[in-house]
Chains A and B, each alone.
Chain A
Amino acid sequence: MAELPKHQEDLSLDTFVRGLWKENPVFVMLLGMCPTLAVSNSAINAISMGLATTFVLAGSGALISWLRNWIPKQVRIASYIVIIATFVTIVDYAIQAISLDLYAALGAFIQLIVVNCIILGRAEAYASQQRLVPTLVNSLGIGAGFTIALFALGSVREILGSGTLFGLHLFGAGFQPWVVMVLPPGGFFVLGAWLLLFNWIKQRGERRADAPTGVPANAR
Chain B
Amino acid sequence: MHAESLPSIFLNAAIVNNFVLAMFLGICPFLGVSSKKETSWNMGLAVIFVLLVSSAAAFGINWLLVNLELEFLRLICYIAVIASTVQLVEMFVKRYSPALFRSLGIFLPLITTNCAVLGLALFQTQKEYDFIQSLVYALGAGAGFTLALMLMAGLRERLALARVPDVSQGAALTLMLAGLLSLAFMGFAGLGGSHG
Question: Smallest distance from the beta carbon of A144 to chain B beta carbons, Å?
Answer: 22
Instruction: Give the interface segment out of B8-16, B51-59, B76-84, B129-137.
Output: B76-84
Decide: B79 and A114 in contact? CB cutoff 8 A: yes
Instruction: Give the interface segment out of A9-17, A64-72, A74-82, A166-174.
Output: A74-82
- Please give me the residue from chain B that is nearest to A89 by CB atom: B75
Decide: B79 and A85 in contact? CB cutoff 8 A: yes
Q: Would you call A203 an interface residue if the criterion is a C-beta within 8 Å of the partner chain's C-beta atoms?
A: yes
> B174-187: contact bitstring with A at CB < 8 Å (1 yes, 0 no)?
01101110110010
| The one of A33, A89, A187 that contacts B76, using a Cβ cutoff of 8 Å | A89
Decide: A192 and B119 in contact? CB cutoff 8 A: no
Task: State A88–B176 Cα separation when bound (angstroms).
Answer: 31
- Please give me the residue from chain B that is nearest to A198 by CB atom: B172
Residues of chain B lying within 8 A (CB to CB) of residue A34: 24-28, 115
Task: State A89–B26 Cα separation when bound (angstroms).
Answer: 21
Given contacts A85-B79, A192-B172, A196-B168, contact A115 B126 (CB under 8 A): no
> B153-170: contact bitstring with A at CB < 8 Å (1 yes, 0 no)?
000000000000011111
Given contacts A184-B21, A188-B175, A199-B168, contact A111 B113 (CB under 8 A): no
Decide: B175 and A192 in contact? CB cutoff 8 A: yes
Given contacts A192-B176, A199-B172, contact A82 B113 (CB under 8 A): no
Decide: B112 and A184 in contact? CB cutoff 8 A: no
| The one of B110, B113, B123, B167 that contacts A203, using a Cβ cutoff of 8 Å | B167
Q: Would you call B6 an interface residue if the criterion is a C-beta within 8 Å of the partner chain's C-beta atoms?
A: no
Q: Would you call B64 an interface residue if the criterion is a C-beta within 8 Å of the partner chain's C-beta atoms?
A: no
Q: Would you call B31 an interface residue if the criterion is a C-beta within 8 Å of the partner chain's C-beta atoms?
A: yes
Q: Would you call B171 an interface residue if the criterion is a C-beta within 8 Å of the partner chain's C-beta atoms?
A: yes
Decide: A196 and B172 in contact? CB cutoff 8 A: yes
Task: State A193–B113 Cα separation when bound (angstroms).
Answer: 26
Interface centre among A77, A88, A184, A192 (most CB of B within 10 A): A184
Interface centre among B21, B25, B180 (most CB of A within 10 A): B25
Residues of chain B lying within 8 A (CB to CB) of residue A93: 72
Given contacts A89-B72, A114-B79, A203-B166, contact A180 B24 (CB under 8 A): no
- Please give me the residue from chain A that is nearest to B166 by CB atom: A203
Question: Smallest distance from the beta carbon of B109 to chain A beta carbons, Å?
Answer: 8
Task: State A19–B64 Cα separation when bound (angstroms).
Answer: 42
Task: State A187–B169 Cα separation when bound (angstroms).
Answer: 19
Q: Would you call B114 an interface residue if the criterion is a C-beta within 8 Å of the partner chain's C-beta atoms?
A: yes
- Please give me the residue from chain A that is nearest to B116 by CB atom: A34
Decide: A185 and B180 in contact? CB cutoff 8 A: yes
11 A-B pairs (CB sep. < 8 Å): A34-B115, A77-B112, A114-B79, A120-B113, A180-B183, A184-B23, A184-B24, A184-B182, A185-B183, A185-B186, A189-B176
Give A contacts to B, CB under 8 Å: 30-31, 33-35, 37-38, 77-78, 81-82, 85-86, 88-89, 92-93, 108, 111-112, 114-117, 120, 180, 183-189, 191-193, 195-196, 199-200, 203
Give B contacts to A, CB under 8 Å: 21-28, 31, 72, 75-76, 79-80, 83, 110, 112-115, 117-119, 122-123, 126, 166-173, 175-176, 178-180, 182-183, 186
Other A-B contacts than A38-B23, A38-B25, A199-B169, 7 sampled, CB-CB below 8 A, are: A34-B115, A85-B75, A115-B115, A117-B28, A183-B186, A185-B183, A199-B168
